[in-house]
């Protein structure tokens, strides 16, 4: 089923999770357990990432098949087209079509950080180029990424929304946003979308706090602000107490999600980092309040 149809028929905000293909045997074992535990929450759909430069091409397809065929989930397949030529793009999308994928999230992607990688000479530079390439050829329900605090490469917020509007005009039917720790960034983003004439569903991404190091690293990569409130809350915890940090992160995310739901979002998309404990705590907490 197309994601947009799920939102039309859902009586409550949807619940969805992002997963990524395992890169080692140990990670694969952990992912198996994570999938089982998250599946027990009966999410409305899940998404599967696509590695930089097609580095997880086979792994992404295999994980999508597993989630669809073994677990019965509706799946959004990410497609990051950085560096891939037209033949590679067709090969990936054709393979997704064969296994029954109906939904794609189209993103530019980043250059691979490991090894030597030479982009195909006919590769497409931006996500908007990918949208223009894919839309006339395939009938996927296409989504794109949004950035409440602006993409790190965008010169300013106005230009960032201009780029987003172009992707919607080229056929994007929904937007999944990068996470932010202050919901005001998200609500301001919605206002900019409205002013620009962007009227497709906007699904907020939620990033639980897994560790201080991961929080700092991810925020620096994607330009998310770590608020003073969040830093103070973490500083007030017993130093080195991982369980206390995990519980704090769950409660912080529940408060954030509660506000998002009250603000009328179509659902919540949790970036799981292939872990389950935080997602379970967040969803159980919200369902206990009758919000999901």
Q: Interior CA angle at 186 toward 41 and 31, to 5°?
A: 30
Query: How far is 71 from 92, CA to CA, in rounded Å?
Result: 22
Taken in order 283, 288, 291, 292, is the CA torsion positive or negative?
positive
Q: What length is written for the chain?
A: 292
Query: How far is 218 from 273, CA to CA, in rounded Å?
Result: 11
Query: How far is 38 from 277, CA to CA, in rounded Å?
Result: 9
Please name the helix (run of DSSP H) or strand (run of DSSP E) that holds residue 124, with its range, or none. none
Query: How far is 197 from 91, CA to CA, in rounded Å?
Result: 34
C-alpha to C-alpha distances, 273 to 172, 210, 215, 218, 282, nearest whole angstrom: 25, 9, 12, 11, 15
Query: How far is 234 from 283, CA to CA, in rounded Å?
Result: 22
Query: How far is 120 from 101, CA to CA, in rounded Å?
Result: 26
Which residues are the active-site residues? 18
Query: How far is 77 from 55, CA to CA, in rounded Å?
Result: 15
C-alpha to C-alpha distances, 250 to 151, 152, 231, 253, 277, nearest whole angstrom: 26, 27, 15, 5, 9
| Bridge partners (DSSP) listed for residue 206 | 270
User: C-alpha dihedral over 87, 90, 93, 99, to 10 degrees?
Assistant: -100
């Amino acid at each position: 089923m197309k994601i947009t149809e799920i939102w039309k028929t859902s009586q409550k905000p949807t619940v969805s999770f992002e997963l990524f293909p395992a890169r080692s045997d140990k990670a694969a074992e952990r992912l198996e357990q994570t999938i089982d535990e998250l599946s027990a929450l009966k999410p409305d759909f899940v998404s599967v990432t696509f590695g930089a430069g097609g580095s997880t091409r086979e792994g992404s397809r295999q994980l999508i098949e597993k989630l669809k065929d073994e677990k019965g989930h509706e799946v959004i397949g990410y497609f990051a087209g950085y560096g891939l030529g037209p033949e590679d793009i067709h090969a990936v999308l054709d393979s997704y079509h064969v296994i029954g994928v109906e939904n794609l999230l189209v993103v530019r992607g980043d250059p691979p950080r490991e090894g030597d990688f030479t982009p195909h000479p006919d590769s497409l530079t931006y996500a908007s180029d990918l949208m223009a390439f894919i839309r006339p050829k395939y009938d996927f329900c296409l989504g794109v990424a949004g950035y409440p605090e602006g993409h790190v490469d965008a010169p300013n917020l106005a230009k960032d929304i201009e780029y987003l509007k172009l992707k919607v005009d080229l056929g994007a039917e929904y937007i999944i946003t990068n996470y932010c720790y202050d919901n005001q960034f998200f609500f301001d983003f919605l206002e900019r979308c409205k002013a620009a004439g962007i009227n497709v569903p906007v699904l907020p991404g939620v990033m639980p706090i897994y560790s201080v190091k991961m929080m700092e690293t991810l925020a620096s990569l994607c330009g998310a602000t770590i608020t003073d409130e969040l830093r103070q809350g973490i500083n007030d915890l017993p130093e080195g107490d991982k369980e206390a940090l995990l519980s704090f992160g769950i409660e912080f995310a529940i408060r954030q999600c509660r506000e998002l739901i009250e603000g009328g979002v179509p659902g919540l998309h949790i970036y799981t980092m292939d872990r389950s404990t935080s997602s379970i705590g967040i969803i159980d907490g919200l369902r206990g309040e009758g919000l999901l």
